[in-house]
Amino acid sequence: MTTAQPQSDHSAKLMSGVALAKRVRDEAAAEVKRIQEATGVTPCLATVLVGDDAASVIYTQMKRKRCVEIGMLPKRIELPRESTTQQLVGEVERLAADPNVHGILVQHPVPAPIDKRAVFEAIPVEKDVDGVTSATLGRVILGLPALASCTPAGIMRLLDEYKVLLVGAHAVVIGRSPILGRPMASMLINAHATVTLCHSHTRNLAKIIGDADILIAAVGKPRFVQGDWIKKASVIVDAGYNKGNVGDVDFDQAIERASLITPVPGGVGPMTIATLMAQTAHAAALQLGVSA
Protein backbone atom coordinates (compact mmCIF):
# COMPACT_ATOMS: atom_id res chain seq x y z
CA MET A 1 0.00 0.00 0.00
CA THR A 2 1.33 3.43 -0.86
CA THR A 3 0.71 6.46 1.30
CA ALA A 4 -0.05 9.77 -0.40
CA GLN A 5 2.58 12.44 0.28
CA PRO A 6 1.06 15.23 2.41
CA GLN A 7 0.72 18.46 0.39
CA SER A 8 2.45 21.39 2.06
CA ASP A 9 -0.18 23.89 3.20
CA HIS A 10 0.89 27.41 2.36
CA SER A 11 -2.46 29.09 3.05
CA ALA A 12 -1.09 30.96 6.10
CA LYS A 13 1.35 32.73 3.78
CA LEU A 14 -1.31 34.21 1.49
CA MET A 15 -2.08 37.94 1.62
CA SER A 16 -5.58 37.82 0.22
CA GLY A 17 -7.12 41.03 -1.06
CA VAL A 18 -10.61 39.57 -1.44
CA ALA A 19 -11.95 39.86 2.11
CA LEU A 20 -10.17 43.15 2.79
CA ALA A 21 -11.50 44.64 -0.47
CA LYS A 22 -15.03 43.69 0.62
CA ARG A 23 -14.46 45.51 3.91
CA VAL A 24 -13.13 48.60 2.09
CA ARG A 25 -16.22 48.59 -0.18
CA ASP A 26 -18.50 48.23 2.85
CA GLU A 27 -16.82 51.28 4.42
CA ALA A 28 -17.32 53.17 1.15
CA ALA A 29 -21.01 52.15 1.05
CA ALA A 30 -21.44 53.52 4.59
CA GLU A 31 -19.82 56.80 3.53
CA VAL A 32 -22.13 57.03 0.49
CA LYS A 33 -25.15 56.56 2.79
CA ARG A 34 -23.88 59.24 5.15
CA ILE A 35 -23.43 61.68 2.23
CA GLN A 36 -26.95 60.96 0.94
CA GLU A 37 -28.49 61.48 4.39
CA ALA A 38 -26.61 64.75 4.93
CA THR A 39 -27.07 66.27 1.46
CA GLY A 40 -29.58 64.26 -0.59
CA VAL A 41 -26.83 63.87 -3.22
CA THR A 42 -25.63 60.51 -4.54
CA PRO A 43 -21.88 60.39 -5.32
CA CYS A 44 -21.14 59.80 -9.01
CA LEU A 45 -18.10 58.31 -10.76
CA ALA A 46 -17.64 59.03 -14.47
CA THR A 47 -15.71 56.38 -16.42
CA VAL A 48 -14.31 57.46 -19.77
CA LEU A 49 -13.48 54.76 -22.29
CA VAL A 50 -11.86 55.50 -25.66
CA GLY A 51 -12.10 52.75 -28.27
CA ASP A 52 -13.04 49.12 -27.68
CA ASP A 53 -9.97 47.42 -26.21
CA ALA A 54 -11.43 44.20 -24.77
CA ALA A 55 -9.68 44.38 -21.38
CA SER A 56 -10.53 48.08 -20.94
CA VAL A 57 -14.21 47.39 -21.73
CA ILE A 58 -14.28 44.73 -18.99
CA TYR A 59 -12.43 46.95 -16.48
CA THR A 60 -14.84 49.88 -16.95
CA GLN A 61 -17.85 47.52 -16.71
CA MET A 62 -16.48 46.10 -13.47
CA LYS A 63 -15.94 49.59 -12.01
CA ARG A 64 -19.50 50.66 -12.88
CA LYS A 65 -20.88 47.44 -11.34
CA ARG A 66 -18.97 48.09 -8.11
CA CYS A 67 -20.32 51.68 -8.07
CA VAL A 68 -23.90 50.42 -8.20
CA GLU A 69 -23.22 47.81 -5.49
CA ILE A 70 -22.17 50.48 -3.01
CA GLY A 71 -24.97 52.88 -3.92
CA MET A 72 -23.05 55.30 -6.17
CA LEU A 73 -24.07 56.46 -9.63
CA PRO A 74 -21.92 55.34 -12.54
CA LYS A 75 -21.74 57.72 -15.51
CA ARG A 76 -20.61 56.04 -18.70
CA ILE A 77 -18.75 57.98 -21.37
CA GLU A 78 -17.60 56.11 -24.47
CA LEU A 79 -15.71 57.75 -27.29
CA PRO A 80 -14.61 56.30 -30.63
CA ARG A 81 -11.06 55.04 -31.10
CA GLU A 82 -10.35 57.85 -33.63
CA SER A 83 -11.04 60.59 -31.03
CA THR A 84 -8.44 63.36 -30.83
CA THR A 85 -6.63 64.59 -27.73
CA GLN A 86 -8.65 67.82 -28.01
CA GLN A 87 -11.98 65.96 -28.05
CA LEU A 88 -11.01 63.87 -25.06
CA VAL A 89 -9.72 66.88 -23.11
CA GLY A 90 -13.03 68.64 -23.93
CA GLU A 91 -14.99 65.69 -22.54
CA VAL A 92 -12.93 65.64 -19.35
CA GLU A 93 -13.40 69.42 -18.96
CA ARG A 94 -17.20 68.99 -19.24
CA LEU A 95 -17.09 66.35 -16.48
CA ALA A 96 -14.80 68.59 -14.43
CA ALA A 97 -17.40 71.40 -14.59
CA ASP A 98 -20.37 69.11 -13.82
CA PRO A 99 -21.29 69.44 -10.11
CA ASN A 100 -23.12 66.09 -10.27
CA VAL A 101 -19.86 64.25 -11.09
CA HIS A 102 -17.52 63.72 -8.11
CA GLY A 103 -14.85 61.46 -9.62
CA ILE A 104 -13.38 61.08 -13.11
CA LEU A 105 -11.60 57.97 -14.31
CA VAL A 106 -10.06 57.86 -17.78
CA GLN A 107 -9.45 54.20 -18.55
CA HIS A 108 -5.91 53.59 -19.75
CA PRO A 109 -4.23 52.72 -22.02
CA VAL A 110 -5.83 55.23 -24.40
CA PRO A 111 -5.15 54.76 -28.16
CA ALA A 112 -1.58 55.74 -29.04
CA PRO A 113 -2.00 59.04 -30.92
CA ILE A 114 -3.80 60.60 -27.93
CA ASP A 115 -1.64 62.64 -25.56
CA LYS A 116 -2.54 60.76 -22.37
CA ARG A 117 -0.76 63.25 -20.10
CA ALA A 118 -2.73 66.21 -21.54
CA VAL A 119 -5.97 64.30 -20.89
CA PHE A 120 -5.01 63.35 -17.32
CA GLU A 121 -3.95 66.92 -16.49
CA ALA A 122 -7.46 68.15 -17.45
CA ILE A 123 -8.86 66.27 -14.41
CA PRO A 124 -9.15 68.63 -11.44
CA VAL A 125 -7.22 67.29 -8.45
CA GLU A 126 -10.38 67.08 -6.29
CA LYS A 127 -11.99 64.72 -8.85
CA ASP A 128 -8.79 62.76 -9.59
CA VAL A 129 -10.01 59.60 -7.84
CA ASP A 130 -7.63 57.37 -9.84
CA GLY A 131 -4.60 59.44 -8.84
CA VAL A 132 -3.24 60.12 -12.32
CA THR A 133 -2.46 63.85 -12.34
CA SER A 134 0.97 65.35 -11.69
CA ALA A 135 -0.57 67.41 -8.87
CA THR A 136 -1.73 64.23 -7.14
CA LEU A 137 1.64 62.52 -7.61
CA GLY A 138 3.35 65.60 -6.13
CA ARG A 139 1.12 65.39 -3.06
CA VAL A 140 1.83 61.65 -2.72
CA ILE A 141 5.60 62.25 -2.93
CA LEU A 142 5.36 64.90 -0.22
CA GLY A 143 3.17 62.69 1.97
CA LEU A 144 0.25 65.15 1.84
CA PRO A 145 -3.38 63.95 1.95
CA ALA A 146 -4.26 62.87 -1.60
CA LEU A 147 -6.58 60.77 -3.69
CA ALA A 148 -3.59 58.59 -4.52
CA SER A 149 -3.11 56.16 -7.33
CA CYS A 150 -5.38 53.24 -6.41
CA THR A 151 -3.05 50.25 -6.86
CA PRO A 152 -0.21 51.44 -4.58
CA ALA A 153 -2.74 52.85 -2.09
CA GLY A 154 -4.47 49.44 -2.04
CA ILE A 155 -1.11 47.70 -1.55
CA MET A 156 -0.32 49.95 1.44
CA ARG A 157 -3.65 49.00 3.01
CA LEU A 158 -2.91 45.31 2.38
CA LEU A 159 0.56 45.59 4.00
CA ASP A 160 -1.04 47.33 6.98
CA GLU A 161 -3.73 44.65 7.29
CA TYR A 162 -1.08 41.93 7.42
CA LYS A 163 1.00 43.98 9.90
CA VAL A 164 4.07 44.06 7.66
CA LEU A 165 6.76 46.11 9.38
CA LEU A 166 7.84 48.88 7.01
CA VAL A 167 9.98 51.06 9.27
CA GLY A 168 13.62 50.42 8.40
CA ALA A 169 12.78 47.53 6.05
CA HIS A 170 14.48 47.34 2.65
CA ALA A 171 11.68 47.53 0.08
CA VAL A 172 12.45 46.90 -3.59
CA VAL A 173 9.97 48.14 -6.19
CA ILE A 174 10.35 46.86 -9.76
CA GLY A 175 8.70 49.31 -12.18
CA ARG A 176 8.62 53.12 -12.25
CA SER A 177 5.34 53.95 -13.98
CA PRO A 178 3.55 57.11 -12.79
CA ILE A 179 0.52 55.09 -11.63
CA LEU A 180 2.29 52.26 -9.88
CA GLY A 181 6.04 52.05 -9.26
CA ARG A 182 6.71 55.75 -8.57
CA PRO A 183 3.85 56.43 -6.15
CA MET A 184 4.50 53.02 -4.53
CA ALA A 185 8.12 53.94 -3.83
CA SER A 186 7.04 57.31 -2.39
CA MET A 187 4.44 55.75 -0.11
CA LEU A 188 7.01 53.26 1.20
CA ILE A 189 9.58 56.03 1.77
CA ASN A 190 6.94 58.03 3.66
CA ALA A 191 6.31 54.93 5.79
CA HIS A 192 10.06 54.95 6.63
CA ALA A 193 11.15 52.00 4.51
CA THR A 194 14.48 52.15 2.68
CA VAL A 195 13.51 51.91 -0.96
CA THR A 196 15.31 50.73 -4.10
CA LEU A 197 13.38 51.51 -7.28
CA CYS A 198 14.31 49.25 -10.22
CA HIS A 199 13.45 49.50 -13.92
CA SER A 200 14.50 48.08 -17.27
CA HIS A 201 18.00 49.62 -17.07
CA THR A 202 18.76 48.29 -13.59
CA ARG A 203 21.90 46.16 -13.35
CA ASN A 204 22.11 43.09 -11.09
CA LEU A 205 18.36 42.98 -10.56
CA ALA A 206 18.39 39.46 -9.07
CA LYS A 207 21.05 40.52 -6.54
CA ILE A 208 19.02 43.59 -5.50
CA ILE A 209 15.87 41.48 -5.16
CA GLY A 210 17.86 39.02 -3.04
CA ASP A 211 18.35 41.80 -0.47
CA ALA A 212 14.68 42.84 -0.32
CA ASP A 213 12.69 42.37 2.89
CA ILE A 214 9.67 43.49 0.87
CA LEU A 215 9.38 43.12 -2.90
CA ILE A 216 6.75 44.90 -4.99
CA ALA A 217 6.66 43.58 -8.56
CA ALA A 218 5.05 45.94 -11.08
CA VAL A 219 6.75 44.96 -14.33
CA GLY A 220 4.01 43.62 -16.60
CA LYS A 221 5.92 40.46 -17.56
CA PRO A 222 4.49 37.04 -16.70
CA ARG A 223 6.43 35.12 -13.98
CA PHE A 224 9.38 37.50 -14.45
CA VAL A 225 10.66 37.27 -10.86
CA GLN A 226 12.16 33.84 -10.21
CA GLY A 227 11.60 32.14 -6.87
CA ASP A 228 15.33 31.66 -6.22
CA TRP A 229 15.96 35.44 -6.57
CA ILE A 230 13.94 36.31 -3.51
CA LYS A 231 15.19 36.54 0.05
CA LYS A 232 14.01 33.85 2.48
CA ALA A 233 11.08 34.97 4.66
CA SER A 234 10.53 38.15 2.63
CA VAL A 235 7.13 39.67 1.82
CA ILE A 236 6.17 39.51 -1.85
CA VAL A 237 3.50 41.74 -3.40
CA ASP A 238 2.72 40.88 -7.01
CA ALA A 239 0.95 43.80 -8.69
CA GLY A 240 1.37 42.26 -12.14
CA TYR A 241 -1.65 41.16 -14.07
CA ASN A 242 -0.80 39.45 -17.33
CA LYS A 243 -2.69 37.38 -19.88
CA GLY A 244 -3.98 34.12 -18.41
CA ASN A 245 -4.39 35.59 -14.89
CA VAL A 246 -0.65 35.36 -14.27
CA GLY A 247 1.36 37.73 -12.10
CA ASP A 248 4.91 39.08 -12.45
CA VAL A 249 6.28 36.60 -9.90
CA ASP A 250 6.71 32.86 -10.30
CA PHE A 251 4.22 32.15 -7.54
CA ASP A 252 4.79 28.38 -7.10
CA GLN A 253 8.52 28.88 -6.50
CA ALA A 254 8.23 32.12 -4.55
CA ILE A 255 5.74 30.84 -1.97
CA GLU A 256 8.31 28.27 -0.84
CA ARG A 257 10.66 31.08 0.31
CA ALA A 258 8.34 33.99 1.17
CA SER A 259 6.78 34.61 4.56
CA LEU A 260 3.81 36.36 2.92
CA ILE A 261 2.77 36.61 -0.73
CA THR A 262 -0.19 37.96 -2.67
CA PRO A 263 -1.94 35.52 -5.01
CA VAL A 264 -2.84 36.46 -8.59
CA PRO A 265 -5.75 36.77 -8.97
CA GLY A 266 -7.24 37.68 -5.59
CA GLY A 267 -4.41 39.81 -4.17
CA VAL A 268 -3.73 43.33 -5.40
CA GLY A 269 -6.46 43.44 -8.09
CA PRO A 270 -9.54 43.53 -5.82
CA MET A 271 -7.85 46.16 -3.62
CA THR A 272 -7.39 48.50 -6.62
CA ILE A 273 -11.10 48.72 -7.46
CA ALA A 274 -12.13 48.87 -3.78
CA THR A 275 -9.72 51.78 -3.28
CA LEU A 276 -11.24 53.54 -6.30
CA MET A 277 -14.71 53.22 -4.72
CA ALA A 278 -13.47 54.47 -1.34
CA GLN A 279 -11.69 57.44 -2.94
CA THR A 280 -14.73 58.41 -5.02
CA ALA A 281 -16.95 58.39 -1.92
CA HIS A 282 -14.33 60.39 -0.05
CA ALA A 283 -13.96 62.90 -2.92
CA ALA A 284 -17.73 63.40 -2.94
CA ALA A 285 -17.75 63.96 0.84
CA LEU A 286 -15.03 66.62 0.49
CA GLN A 287 -16.76 68.36 -2.44
CA LEU A 288 -20.11 68.38 -0.63
CA GLY A 289 -18.65 69.50 2.70
CA VAL A 290 -19.63 66.34 4.58
CA SER A 291 -17.11 65.75 7.35
CA ALA A 292 -15.94 62.28 8.32
> Closest separation between CB of residue 108 and ligand NAP, Å?
8
* C-beta of 128 vs 290, nearer to ligand NAP: 128
**Whole-number Å distance between alpha carbons of 193 and 159:** 12
Active site residue 63: yes
Which positions touch ligand NAP (CB under 6 A)?
A: 151, 174-177, 179-181, 198-202, 205, 218-221, 239-242, 248, 268-269, 272
Active site residue 130: yes
**Whole-number Å distance between alpha carbons of 119 and 115:** 7
Choose, from 75, 116, 128, 130, the residue flagged as catalytic: 130
DSSP letters for 120-155: HHTS-GGG-TT--SHHHHHHHHHT------HHHHHH
Identify any residues that bridge with 128 across adjacent strands, giving them in sequence order. none
**Whole-number Å distance between alpha carbons of 264 and 243:** 11
* C-beta of 156 vs 218, nearer to ligand NAP: 218
Beta strands 214-217 and 235-238 are parallel
**Whole-number Å distance between alpha carbons of 209 and 79:** 42
* C-beta of 151 vs 234, nearer to ligand NAP: 151
**Whole-number Å distance between alpha carbons of 64 and 66:** 5
- Cα–Cα distances (Å) from 162 to 14, 157, 173, 240, 259, in that order, read 10, 9, 19, 20, 11
> Closest separation between CB of residue 143 and ligand NAP, Å?
21
> Closest separation between CB of residue 172 and ligand NAP, Å?
11
* C-beta of 273 vs 281, nearer to ligand NAP: 273
> Closest separation between CB of residue 38 and ligand NAP, Å?
31
Active site residue 107: yes
**Residues labelled as active-site residues:** 63, 107, 130
